[in-house]
Structure formats: structure tokens, C-alpha cells
Amino acid sequence: MAAAADPVKIGFLVKQAEEPWFQDEWRFAEQAAKEKGFSLVKIGIPNGEKMIAAIDNLAAQKAQGFVICAPDVKLGIAVERATKRIGLKAMSVDDQLVDGNGKPIASIPHMGISAYEIGKQVGQGLLGEMKLRGWAASDVGALRLAFDQLPTARERTQGAVDALKAGGFPVTNIVDAAQSKTDTESAFNAANIAFTKNTHFKHWLVFGMNDEAVLGSIRAAEGRGFTSDKLIGIGIGGSKTAQNEFSKPKLTGFYGTVLISPKRHGYETAINMYQWIAENKPPAPITLTTGTLMTRLNQAEVRAQFGL
């Protein structure tokens, strides 16, 4: 175990290092490291084996703790065991770690998004825009990109479904498409199958767990002639994936996203971990962050509100 006088070293482990959201989290964690003068070790952990190797590696480097978004939340017990064995502090970000019964692990503090509420904002945004366009609900399909094995993903899309239902959208027009992974390509493939099976809709609403899910589906819909006037997609995130879409000269089906805060999730978790290590001040057991609907029109304003 590291001695109290050792310089503070903190790991930041993420499941999908190539995804802009995680790049942003790392960037803000770096900011915290500069400010507080600790060193930050960033490691991508695409699977359980890499995750365990990364934790061992941190211990060997005399790190005192880490922030983690695990490749599978069911690895929770493995994380808890590893941290106890080698005396490292752990906090989860984005995806809350669970035990064998699917129950959150109490010894690991967590910062995540208020998934269900944010999902509701997605659903309300889709309905609002659909009404503005005057579409008859009977002509509209709503595609739910599903990754139900991840609780935060399931809660996000459930929020959207409930908002659609509450707004009178016909439940039978909601179509599920299960992604095998949480990237754009898997979403593209899943959406393609769903569109092939449901050719009777004139318009589509699209939602999913993040911007990548929605973007992949939008690309699939566009490939079938659903231009932006027939398609409304709202993602969750607001990092580069969404910004790239918004900066295209031509409108795409990617109408909006609920902006969430990579600054809070990156900077704040790193600071929390630092204070736990250096000042013996443990993080709050659970912190849930909020989001705001962002479109091409209000993006500058909303990003500014988030300090981005």
C-alpha cells in the first residue's frame, strides 16, 4: 500500500477510449490533475481482462485510487475485490457497478447521469418537434435503440418511451432495435434490420442511450431515403459526435441531443478521488447529474451554461 507522503497518483479507466464523451472526461480530469498537482494515469479498458490488468498496473505504479467506467457493470465484484486486495480506492463514473444480484455496490461511490429524467427529456423533445412538423402520429415510427443489459441505458430509453406514451404517442408504433455493442456501427446494423422490417412508416423518431446510438440509426435511415424532413433523432451526450453533426452545412436527421456534463463527470470525479486520498474526505455515495436539450439553434448558449 502507498504511504501517505507519496505523491498522489490517480487512474482514470474508461471502457471506450475512442468515444468522444470519454475523451472529454479525460480532458477534464487532466484539468483537475493540473490544478491539484497529482498525476493522472488514463487507461482504456475494453474488456474485463484489460480492466484487471489496468488495476494491477496502477497498484504497481503506486497509485492510490482510480475512477472507473467499466466495460461491464457486472464486473463490480471483481473491482471491489481487486481494490480490497491491493488497497486502492475506487469510484465509478457513468455506469454504476453492481454485484451478482444486480444491486449497486455500496462501497464504491458513483457519479452518473439522472438517466430516466434525461430519457424523458429526449421523449418530450421528440414529441415537441413532431407536433411542430404536424405529423400524424399514426404515420410515425419511433425507433428505440436498446442496450438493456446496461441499467443506465435501459433507464434512459425507458424515460423516453414513458414520455412518448404520456404525450399520447401510439405504443404500438414504438419499435425496438437491440445493439450488440454501444458504438455507432452496432447501432447502424441494428437500426437497418428494424427499418427493413417496418417499411410502413412515413416518418421516424429515433432515440437511444447516447449520441452514437442515434447517429448510427440516423445514417441507416438516411440510407433508406429518410432525409432530415422525415426524421427526428435526439441523442444523449453532446460531445464531438453531436457537434460534428450540428456543424454540417446541410441539416441531418440528428436534430438534437441532451447535453450532459463531461466536465462534472471528468473534473469533479477526479477532484473527489483526490480529496479522498489526500484529505481523507470520501465522495458522496451517489451523485446524479442533469442534462439540457441542445439543438443547432441553442447549442452555443447551452454549452456556455454547462461551462463548456
Per CB under 6 A, residues contacting ligand FCA are: 19, 21, 69, 94-95, 113, 152, 182, 210, 236-237, 260
Closest CA to 224 of 185, 182, 196, 265: 196
Give the pairing of strands 254-259 and 292-295.
Answer: antiparallel
Rounded to a whole number of angstroms, the minimum distance from the CB of residue 183 to ligand FCA is: 9
Q: In this complex, which beta carbon is closest to ligand FCA, that of residue 2 or of residue 294? A: 294
Q: In this complex, which beta carbon is closest to ligand FCA, that of residue 9 or of residue 120? A: 120
At 176, is the secondary structure helix, strand, or coil?
A: strand
- Supply the angle between the helices 115-132 and 151-166 in degrees, to the nearest 10: 40
Q: In this complex, which beta carbon is closest to ligand FCA, that of residue 192 or of residue 261? A: 261
According to DSSP, residue 201 is labeled -
Rounded to a whole number of angstroms, the minimum distance from the CB of residue 113 to ligand FCA is: 5
Rounded to a whole number of angstroms, the minimum distance from the CB of residue 123 to ligand FCA is: 17
Residue 7, burial from CB neighbour count under 10 angstroms (0-12, 13-18, 19+):
exposed
Rounded to a whole number of angstroms, the minimum distance from the CB of residue 187 to ligand FCA is: 11
Q: Cell numbers 444491486 label which residue?
A: 103
Cβ contact 175:198 at 8 Å: yes
At 190, is the secondary structure helix, strand, or coil?
A: helix
Rounded to a whole number of angstroms, the minimum distance from the CB of residue 181 to ligand FCA is: 10
Rounded to a whole number of angstroms, the minimum distance from the CB of residue 111 to ligand FCA is: 10
Q: In this complex, which beta carbon is closest to ligand FCA, that of residue 237 or of residue 253? A: 237
At 106, is the secondary structure helix, strand, or coil?
A: coil
Cβ contact 273:55 at 8 Å: no
Q: In this complex, which beta carbon is closest to ligand FCA, that of residue 19 or of residue 245? A: 19
Distances (CA, A) of 230 to 160, 188, 190, 233, 287: 19, 18, 20, 10, 38
Q: In this complex, which beta carbon is closest to ligand FCA, that of residue 9 or of residue 264? A: 264
Q: In this complex, which beta carbon is closest to ligand FCA, that of residue 83 or of residue 239? A: 239
Q: Determine phi and psi for 101, rounding to 5 degrees.
A: -100, 10
Cβ contact 113:269 at 8 Å: no
Give the pairing of strands 65-69 and 39-44.
Answer: unpaired
Q: Round to whole Å and give the CA distance between 153 and 91.
A: 19
Rounded to a whole number of angstroms, the minimum distance from the CB of residue 265 to ligand FCA is: 7
Q: In this complex, which beta carbon is closest to ligand FCA, that of residue 169 or of residue 268? A: 268
